[in-house]
Structure 1
Amino acid sequence: MEYNHADLFEGVADAIGERVALVCGDERLTYAELDELANRLAHHLEDAGVRPGQHIAVQLYNGVEYAAALLAALKIRAVPINVNYRYVENELLYVYRDSDSVALLYDVEFEDRVAATVPEAPALKHLIAVGGRPSIPGAVAYEDAVREADGTRGFPPRSADDLYIIYTGGTTGMPKGVMWTTENLLLGFWNPSLPRPSRPEDVVENARNGGPLVMMPVAPLMHGAAQMATWIAWFMGATLVYTRRFDAAEVWRTIEREKVNSLTVTGDAMAIPMADELARGDYDTSSLLVFVSTGAIFSGTVRDRIQELLPNTMVLDRFGSTESGSTAEAVAGSTPEKGLRFAPDVEDVTVLDDALQPVKPGSGVIGQVARTGHIAMGYYNDPEKTAKTFPVVDGRRWLLTGDIATVEEDGSIAVYGRGSQAINTGGEKVFPEEVEAVLKGHPAVYDAVVTGIPDERWGNRVAAVIQPSGGGRPSPEDLDAHCRRRLSGYKVPRVYAFVDEMKRSPAGKADYRWAKQVAQEAEE
């Protein structure tokens, strides 16, 4: 057995095959049933000509088919490629081509976009339509593919160095494929509450000895956080629960019906509507032990509201990235408004200064959060960005996350924000996350995204795009007064633009290109 997700899942399926592995809507599969389904899809892909090392694009909503696709690709040593289901044709074409995908699983409701794009991606030779009969010539229906294939294993040996790619980003440019070996992916995203395995068999034993835990990632599986939550659940021997798409009411109904114990969301964009729905609805949440946010900013006001609504649930804020894995947890009292401070999970996490040397705790020196050890290999098809982001210092390979931070005397890491999004206004740096968190503390603000727009005198000025709450639009003067009580003057937005609905990714990440355009148009 190797530190390979397919090897490990098969080991878990052999150990606890009768336990329920996955629930989505009315579908329920045990570990043994899911393993057999993935075997069928894997053999179909093999018969279609997919070979080890080749890439399989997955353009699906959450569901059994997505989980089976991840497993099937890894079983034949192919590489799953997550595709954002919101992408329009030019974005799809970029991912199809950049990833060199040779096969595609897609939901039939995306067929118009797929049909218009696939002819321009000649490497895509095999299409599998999920949820209906395909109209694209040569495409096969998922139901036919798995029904006619062999449900047993019989796959060649795998390696801990097999490739796993997660496409991420897209808010400041086209997405990039983050490459991992399966061993580093497993250990980089290992659940910090459990002891690290010393051998692959320990993972199976951990699952075998796991209790009847029910875990639910709310984000779409096209986001790395949901995929990693999926593997974590299975390697704990837990029952994994999905909803097909994010709907706050459906999430709470599912939590009540399936008695979910652990819930994972991605920041305010999911936590806010979930809090609103919980406040106005009548749901049994007594099973919920842990509410975790990861992958996006979780502001203090929103976290406090969730805690008030779920007084018997532990609310956690996790820190990490697609490139770094899960690295740290917010310390008590830490919020974006007051200052984010995280306690690292592993010794391999620190802050490096401009000379790429570790920052001395308590020195106040500002640098970048960095991790070594179990980190990604680099970016697919982008050696230049790989070399810049993953430098080798004194023979040791590091990941520079882009998060600007310093190290406190107690060893905790104080994070100011993403360097790529920092606004330079008159020589002062403003981190949008801090200002966004303050704005979302205003009772009339439902959501906020902060960006910089050009200014002749200051270089850039701070601008905020605001989605008001249902209570009416706040005035710029009111927002200004609210911010000035909590922020230094240079951080206060000079421009406010109001929108009916904020544009975010399906996982809740801000679209800063769009926000900048909206803010500039509001000023004209």
Structure 2
Amino acid sequence: MTGLVCGDTVLTDDDLRERIAAAGAAGVDTPGRAVPIRATDRVDALVTALAVRAAGGVPLVGDDRWDGAYWAALKDRVDAAAPAPGMAWGTFTSGSTGTPRVVLRTEESWSASFPAVERLTGLTAADVVYLPSPLVSSVTMFSVAHARACGATVVLPRTHSVSAADLANATVLHGTPYALRDILERIESGSAHRLRVALVGGARLDPRLRARAEAAGIAVVSYYGAAELSFVATDADGSGLRPFDGVEIRVVDGVLWVRSGYFAGGYLGDVDGPFRRTADGWGTVGDLAADGPIPLRLRGRGDGAILTAAATVVPEDVEAALLGIDGIADAVVFALPHERAGDLVAAVIEPAAGRRPPTAGELRARVGTLLTGTHRPRRWFWVDRLPRTAAGKPAREQIRQGAIEGRVARVV
């Protein structure tokens, strides 16, 4: 039985077990010790991670694209942290707004959700699971653990981009909307594929992307979750997010609270973060949601709100409206400092493939029908492709700084 495929490397389950055994303790000197791992060879990185786990340590895979000095500082921080007994997996947060934290979790916090994911996707040992996000992503490491538990084959990308060759055998995708978009562009250009279902998370899913996938014969299960909370809500048919099996949801003063058995254990070291828990088991990462019945309507992160003209603007609300404009593939909205007006609502747009960016006049005309005055962007910028984190989310702080420092083109 094939266990792992990455480019020309094909390992059977027995091959993979032998390589894990050969790696030995892989740097684990104490149970619960977090071991930072970074390698350009993805097979080597994954084998090391699985060896660390087998030895009772906590594998923590970094991104091989990170700057060496940046990685060295993260590694020093991880190495200095005390062991975390009982923890099994560690992942970096996306780092979309700054330095990533390390989220620790038990084996059971992931494995308890495996049956529900299998019901949603139909995943079995006969499937071939394509994981285009890098190993630094919790999306990928979760599905590696899941595939090994159920006996499915894992396909890792040979590069940092989607490959037509990888699509030829994969039957299940677990990735971000951006990976799904890249895959659909290849399929629509004639690449053969066997994908039957896509499990998509990490960012909002444009309904148009779901429709394109379904037209290609791919069922889509989108979900909302967080590294600290794991799965929270899913949408299997486009009708809206509903609580994942075993999850309770409530909204208090506009903030989403969740209770389930899938929570992470916390952060590595003496690090503060958005994850908060109550004595009776409810937890939050500060995400905002609309009051009212299911389906769940998310409104972004409370700490990213823009205060302007005596109004509170949630960037994700504006971004959702901008995606309704023809010619915009994606957008990031942020607070742009202004000497006299305080913060202005600004947006960086990514034009649809092969399209020119709309003019400022066109954008103003369109948003005038979609957004109230306080929520309309006052400054517009554009890039061919928005920079993204390893998890596929827009690199918000990088995008914002690029606009503030004049490194991003203005829309005229």
Determine if the alignment matches structure 1 residue 494 to structure 2 residue 393: no
- Code of the aligned partner of 1:439: L
Question: 1:101, 1:190 → 2: CA distance?
Answer: 33
- Give the distance between the partners of 2:341 and 2:87, measured in 1 at CA: 49
1:389/1:265 Cα in 2 relative to 1: closer, same or farther (>3 Å)? closer
1:435 is aligned with what amino acid?
A: V
| Matching of residue 319 in structure 1 with residue 228 in structure 2 | no
Partner of 2:319: 436
Which residue does 1:126 correspond to in 2? none
Q: How many angstroms apart in 2 are the aligned matches of 1:245 and 1:479?
A: 36
Residues of 1 paired with 2:30 and 2:282: CA distance? 32
Contact 2:128 2:171 (8 Å CA) reproduced? yes
SS at match of 2:297: strand
Task: Give distance in 2, aligned partners of 1:353 and 1:219.
Answer: 33
Task: Quickly say closer, same or farther: Cα 1:160–1:88, change in 2 above 3 A.
Answer: closer
**Equivalent pair of 2:105/2:265 in contact (CA under 8 Å):** yes
Q: 1:383 to 1:466 in 2, by over 3 A?
A: closer
Cα deviation digits, residues 64-99 of structure 1 (max 9, x gap): 223211210011112211212222244213311221
CA contact 2:101–2:271 (8 Å) conserved in 1: no
Question: Which letter maps to 2:232?
Answer: T
* Pairs aligned (count): 404
Q: State the Cα distance separating 1:220 from its structure 2 match.
A: 0.7
Contact kept in structure 1, 2:32 and 2:86, CA below 8 Å: no
For the residue of structure 1 that corresponds to 2:96, the secondary structure is coil
**Match for residue 276 of structure 2?**
390
Distance 2:87 2:356 in 1: 53
Q: Specify which of 392, 400, 404 is matched with residue 520 of structure 1.
A: 404
Work out which of the residue numbers 148, 173, 184 in structure 2 matches 1:275: 184
CA contact (8 A) 1:369 1:404 kept: no
Q: Deviations over 1:31-63 (max 9, x none)?
A: 2221111011125x36xx744333321113473
Which amino acid counterpart does residue 245 of structure 2 have in structure 1? Answer: V
Q: Mark the runs of 5 or more structure 2 residues left unpaired by the alignment.
A: none
How far has the Cα of 1:193 moved from its partner?
4.0
1 or 2, which has the higher helix percentage? Answer: 1
Partner amino acid, structure 2, of 1:184? S
How far 1:494 moved relative to its partner?
0.9
Letter in 1 for 2:31: P
**Which letter does structure 2 place at the counterpart of 1:253?**
A
Identical positions, percent: 26
Is 2:49–2:61's contact at 8 Å kept on the other side of the alignment? no
Which residue is 2:114 aligned to?
Answer: 190
Q: What corresponds to 2:286 in structure 1?
A: 402
Distance across 1 between alignment mates of 2:223 and 2:97? 23
- 2:60/2:92 contact within 8 Å kept: yes
Using the alignment, how far apart are the partners of 1:412 and 1:499 within structure 2?
33
AA paired with 2:276? Answer: F
Q: Tell me by how many angstroms 1:183 deviates.
A: 2.0
Aligned to 1:465: 348
Give, in whole Å, the separation in 1 of the partners of 2:288 and 2:49.
34
**Aligned with 2:184: secondary structure?**
helix
CA distance 1:331–1:100, change in 2 (3 Å): same
Q: Aligned residue for 2:152?
A: 238
**Residues 223 and 319 of structure 1: CA distance in aligned 2, closer, same or farther (over 3 Å):** same
Give me the CA root mean square deviation: 2.9
Aligned match of 1:330: 235
2:304 alignment partner in structure 1: 421
Q: 1:161 aligns with which of 81, 86, 95?
A: 86
Could you tell me which amino acid in structure 2 is paired with residue 282 of structure 1?
Answer: G
SS at match of 2:281: strand
Distance 1:242 1:261 in 2: 13
Counterpart position of 1:130: none
Choose from 41, 44, 47 the match for 2:23: 41
Secondary structure, aligned partner of 1:218: coil
User: Please, which of 504, 507, 513 is the counterpart of residue 388 of structure 2?
Assistant: 504
The Cα of 1:415 is off from its aligned counterpart by 1.0
Give the corresponding residue for 2:59: 80
The answer as to whether partners of 1:61 and 1:220 remain within 8 angstroms in 2 is no
Answer whether contact 2:32 2:85 (CA < 8 A) is retained. no
1:379 is matched with: 267
Contact 2:228 2:263 (8 Å CA) reproduced: yes
The alpha-carbon deviation at position 516 of structure 1 amounts to 1.9
250, 255, 277: which one pairs with 2:167? 255
Partner SS for 1:319: strand
Q: Give the whole-Å Cα distance in 2 for the aligned partners of 1:185 and 1:331.
A: 20
- Aligned letter for 1:175? P
Equivalent residue, structure 2, for 1:266 = 176
Q: CA deviation at 1:426?
A: 2.5
- Contact (CA 8 Å) 1:160, 1:181: kept in 2 or not? no
The alignment's TM-score, normalised by the length of structure 1, stands at 0.70
Residue pair 2:246, 2:260 contacting (<8 A) in 1 also: no
Structure 1 distance, partners of 2:180, 2:196, is 16
1:212 CA drift (Å)? 1.5
- The alpha-carbon distance between structure 1 residues 521 and 53, as it changes in their structure 2 partners (threshold 3 A), is closer
Offset at residue 352 of structure 1 (A): 4.2
**Aligned mates of 2:40, 2:286 — CA distance in 1:** 30
Q: Matches of 1:425 and 1:190 in 2, distance apart? A: 44
Query: Which residue does 2:203 correspond to in 1?
Result: 296
Structure with max Cα Rg: 1
Secondary structure of the equivalent of 1:192?
A: helix
Contact 1:61 1:221 in 2 (8 A): no
| Among 197, 200, 212, the residue aligned to 1:305 | 212
Deviations 1:365-392 (A, max 9, x none): x22242343311111113544xx62232
Change (3 A) 1:190 1:428: farther
Aligned to 2:328: 445
Letter in 1 for 2:135: L
Map of 1:217 onto structure 2: 131
Change (3 A) 1:98 1:437: same
Report how far residue 520 of structure 1 moved.
Answer: 2.7
| Partner Cα separation in structure 1 for residue 344 and residue 69 of structure 2 | 32
Tell me how far 1:434 sits from its aligned partner.
3.4
CA distance in 2, matches of 1:300, 1:489: 26
Question: C-alpha offsets along residues 282-307 of structure 1, whole Å, 9 cap, x if unaligned?
Answer: 1223x221022111222223333333
String of CA shifts for 1:166-189, please: whole Å, max 9, x gaps. 1113222211011112222322x4
**Aligned partners of 2:192 and 2:376: how far apart in 1?**
41
